[in-house]
Amino acid sequence: MSRLRPSHRLRPAALLGASIAVACLLGLAAGTARSAGSALGWASLGFAGYEFTSLLSPPGNACVVAWTGLNNGGLGVSTDCGDQYARLFLPSAYDVTAQNENIGYVAAGTLGMVKTIDTGTNWYPINDGLPTVGRDARAVILHVARPESVFCGLYGGGVFIGGPKAALNDTIRWQAMNAGLIDLRVRALARVRGGTFLVAGTEGGIERWSNGSWSSVAPGVIVNAFVIDSGDSNKVYAATEGGVYRSTNQGLSWFPSSTGLPAVPVNDIARRTDGLPVLYAGTRGQGVWESADGGANWRKFGPNLPGDNDVRAVLCTVGAAAADSAMVFAGTRADGLFRAEYSTPAATTSWGRIKETYRR
């Protein structure tokens, strides 16, 4: 098994190191809390020139933030609320997940799928069973019930499930699960935690896996990203070329949920990491938008971002400084990574709305 180019680290004074990287993705390492700002504004965290593709944070670790990016943005991981990052994978990357503190996977576009077994120090291609044509890995998610296995989505190759070839957990063999899949150009993939279905966003629309085959559930709805509601796994949200869509029945049916949003594509969607039904949408050319009622209505979040205001990835973490503190991260098409901080009353009657003084 050939080894990919070793990783290196940005901002070495941070002493982040690869040894904690995959653990961070699973929430096994804690970060240093920051105090929330007194006014809403975007702080630049750098990394201009990368096209961000995902932002994620493990539950219960508000200061641990990971991102993936194109233009050789690769994989970056922070344990201090985004102030400093270690870059653990250098080629372009679309998505990342981790099995434990040692083992992680990256969907690396035309490189296919890659894996680390030493906390991000080295990465190996794991393409056994994947097609040689259409090997453009865009999405990877963990099989929660069997964490030694993973799913990946390929643009042009469909959906595959992978598991270890032998007792050693350093190699993977993939098997196609494309029965009934109308369009193999998979752009996004999601699976409910502990559930029995997957949803795939393809160039032809949304398709749903259940009982061993796929069925078309929203033809023509072109998805850029999914998020399954952590508070109610019956609810699934989709960032699409036609705005936000949502499902309340585990992806069986979908309806538009874009009241208040501008008529532009939505690149990504994220949920607050606490129990409040607050969502954030990253839009093409119109910045970040917020819904405080589970996607029913939307309003602008904060000022425009520098540059073309094209937000490709968005994330909201809660509780870094206090129970009511929140941070919103926005990864852009070409202008870098940004962070905004705010506070809300801890009482649930606030519905997680940002104080109006932070809006103006």
Tell me the C-alpha distance between 5 and 91, whole Å.
9
Choose the most confident range, by mean pLDDT, from 8-17, 104-113, 161-170, 322-331.
Answer: 104-113
Q: How far apart, in whole angstroms, are the C-alpha atoms of residue 311 and residue 286? A: 8
Is 92:106 a contact under the CB 8 Å cutoff? no
Over 80: is that where the pLDDT of 251 sits?
A: yes
pLDDT tens-digit profile of 192-225? 766 678 999 999 999 999 999 999 999 999 999 9
Q: How high is the pLDDT of residue 35?
A: 37
Q: Is the pLDDT of residue 281 over 80?
A: yes
In degrees, rounded to 5, the angle at the alpha carbon of residue 183 between the alpha carbons of residues 179 and 184 is 75
pLDDT at 21: 40
Of 335, 359, 336, 354, the residue nearest 344 (C-alpha): 354
Domains and CATH numbers, the chain: 12-358 (2.130.10.10)
pTM score, whole prediction: 0.86
d(C-alpha 232, C-alpha 236), whole Å: 9
Closest CA to 217 of 226, 209, 208, 228: 208
Instruction: Give 312-327 pLDDT, tens digit per residue.
Output: 999 999 988 777 789 9
62 pLDDT band, cuts 50/70/90, is confident
Q: What mean pLDDT is predicted for residues 329-352?
A: 75
pLDDT number for residue 170:
57
pLDDT for 273? 81
> Residue 133 above 90 pLDDT?
no
| pLDDT per residue as tens digits for the range 94-108 | 999 988 778 899 999
Query: Residue 307: what pLDDT?
Result: 95
Render pLDDT for 18-60 as a digit per residue (tens, 0 to 9): 333 444 443 333 333 233 334 689 999 999 999 999 999 887 7
d(CA 189, CA 251): 12
By the 8 A CB rule, do 246 and 293 touch? Answer: no
Residue 21: in which H helix or E strand, if any?
helix 21-25
pLDDT of residue 102: 84
- Nearest Cα to 82, choosing from 16, 18, 20? 16
Mean pLDDT of the chain: 84
Q: Which tops the pLDDT comparison, 61 or 145?
A: 61
pLDDT of 5 strictly over 80:
no
Cβ(333)–Cβ(26) below 8 Å = no
The pLDDT, as a whole number, for residue 61 is 83
Distance separating alpha carbons of residues 150 and 107, to the nearest angstrom: 11
